[in-house]
Chains A and B, each alone.
Chain A
Amino acid sequence: MMDASLFTYALYLAAIYSLMAIGISLLWSSVGMVNMAHGATFAISGYAAYFAADWMMPLVKAAVDGPQSMTVLAILTMAVGIVSGAIFGIVIYLVAFLPIHDKPNFAVRSLIITLALNLASVQALLYFFGPQQKALPRFLGSGRMDLFGIPVRIDQLVTIVTTVVLLGLVLFWLRVSRKGLEIRAVMQNSEGAALCGISTRWTALPIMMLTGALAGVAAVLLSQNIFVNPTAGATPLIKGLTIALLGGLGSVPGAVLGAILIGFLEAATGIIPFLGQRYVLVVQFAFIVIMLVIRPRGLGGLLDETRE
């Protein structure tokens, strides 16, 4: 039986995975690009957050007294993670989208370019910062608190709440703003959007900045539990990509549902005595393969039909 702390852990994993998977899914459904550099965005944002936190910590501690200093540091570091993710999104746009978006076989070409960009970024991080792991300060808190009688780890709770609030804001912005309408129009039918005067060429830029920023948020939140290193983005990329596939590339609700399922599966697999943490990936991939055999379009995936 899954206890309350395991339930929170599962939601925590689901939150991180959904940030990655939604980024990958949004980009595929809007500009038809599988972004293999999403992992590099994660790692670069993690490094930016680490150096920013390292530099800002004494300044913040001098300016703000008590436990509030950690809250201020968390907000500033999160902002740096978001901005650096968005900036790397611009780099991906300039390198892997703009020169080739109207050429034949864009999907395959962009996949190869983003994969190359990912490898180059990892090597650049190794060259400049070495293989040493960097630990961000635990600014989200390390203790537990009592929530409706359930002991919950504060960092996990903050991660879940932050993700829900941020994704809620993103979905709200997509629904009510002019730019959001443009993005949703491009997601549904890029030719139809062009006939409305909406240019995929220019709409792709805010989408890439947005998805990069989401990867930046994931990097800062996850860095409370893992170390930052040049290959830190590999696992989140693979998990994000497979969850986006499970959810049905292009479906935001599908990606969220996929992330929740995988989060619970990972948490549950870890406590099964004859499986444990070693078998988490095996069980996850087996589950995804079986799901895709049963439902090839994934859990959502309805937008694929629209794109065709």
Chain B
Amino acid sequence: MTHQLLAVRGLSAGYGPLRVLHDIDFTISEGERLAIVGLNGHGKTTLFRAIMQLVGWQRGSVTFDGVEIGGTRSLGEGRYTPGIVRLGIAMTPQGDAIFPGLTVREHLDCGAHARSAWRERARRRERVYQLFPQLETLQDALVGKLSGGERRMVSIGRALMSDARLYLIDEPTLGLAPKVSRRVIEALVNIPIEGKAMVIAEQNVAVLTGAVDRMIGMHAGRLRGEVGHVGLE
């Protein structure tokens, strides 16, 4: 039996008076790739931000590996996020050039910020370069000067540098050309996730076909059930 990694139960969240998420329920187990699909503005990003404690308020329960990381406590936005990252969740946000003034190497090293990961950052960087070979030649380039696809690779690479066991990848193909989108999705499929899991939020259902184990539709801040079983090829 596979170990359940993340369980979201009755999660509602929003910003100020605005409630964006309504009673979200889903789980993900080790070795699983799950996609949350839906149109822009229907709450996919807010769901990821709620898991990372980056929204204004939330109710309900989010447990990661049996540890409650959500709930009803009064939260400052982002105050508990570093702790959640240290527990083992890595999120790559939309608009992913989060440090445009850092070089590719520095950007990746930020992902290995934890003391244990920092010591072996060179080895981890090599692993990322194996997955995205073009990043090796660009390692001294500023991230803000890269193309959209390259920035997306840096962002995913940064998540891989950490000790994460759950990857939350938000809109990996947003704004990318179809060819580049396919390369990014291929890279996500090639990431080994034994003992780990991955949730991808995406608008483009077609690009995910064959790339994830299951898809859940999201509309108006509610999960609408599985879109259809799409096994890995």
Q: Give A residues with C-beta under 8 Å from B.
A: 101-103, 178, 181-182, 184-185, 188-201, 303, 306
Contact = CB atoms under 8 A, between A and B. Distances in A.
B150 to A, nearest CB: 17
Interface in B75-108: 76-79, 81-82, 85-86, 90-91, 93, 98-102, 106
A178 B82 CA distance: 16
A173 to B, nearest CB: 14
A194 B113 contact: no
Given A193-B110, A198-B113, A188 B78 contact: no
26 contacts: A102-B79, A178-B113, A178-B118, A181-B106, A181-B109, A181-B113, A182-B113, A188-B99, A188-B101, A188-B102, A189-B98, A190-B78, A191-B54, A191-B81, A192-B98, A192-B99, A194-B54, A194-B78, A195-B90, A195-B93, A196-B113, A196-B158, A197-B113, A197-B114, A198-B113, A199-B82
A185 B102 contact: yes
Contacts of B29: none
B111 interface: yes
Contacts of B102: 181, 184-185, 188
Interface residues of B, number: 27
B158 to A, nearest CB: 7
B201 interface: no
B100 to A, nearest CB: 6
Interface of B: 52, 54, 76-79, 81-82, 85-86, 90-91, 93, 98-102, 106, 109-111, 113-114, 118, 158, 162
Given A191-B54, A192-B93, A197 B82 contact: yes
A102 B106 CA distance: 27
A188 B143 CA distance: 12
Contacts, number: 70
Given A188-B100, A192-B98, 13 more contacts: A185-B99, A185-B102, A188-B99, A191-B81, A191-B98, A194-B82, A194-B85, A195-B52, A195-B98, A196-B110, A197-B113, A198-B82, A200-B78
Nearest to A178: B118
A197 B99 CA distance: 14
Contacts of B78: 102, 190-191, 194, 200
A197 B101 contact: no
Contacts of B106: 181, 184
B111 to A, nearest CB: 6
Contacts of A195: 52, 81, 85, 90-91, 93, 98
Contacts of B162: 196-197
3 tightest Cβ-Cβ pairs between the two chains A and B = A102-B76, A192-B98, A197-B85
A221 B35 CA distance: 60
B42 to A, nearest CB: 22
A194 B99 contact: no
B110 A198 contact: yes
A181 B113 CA distance: 9
Nearest to B107: A185
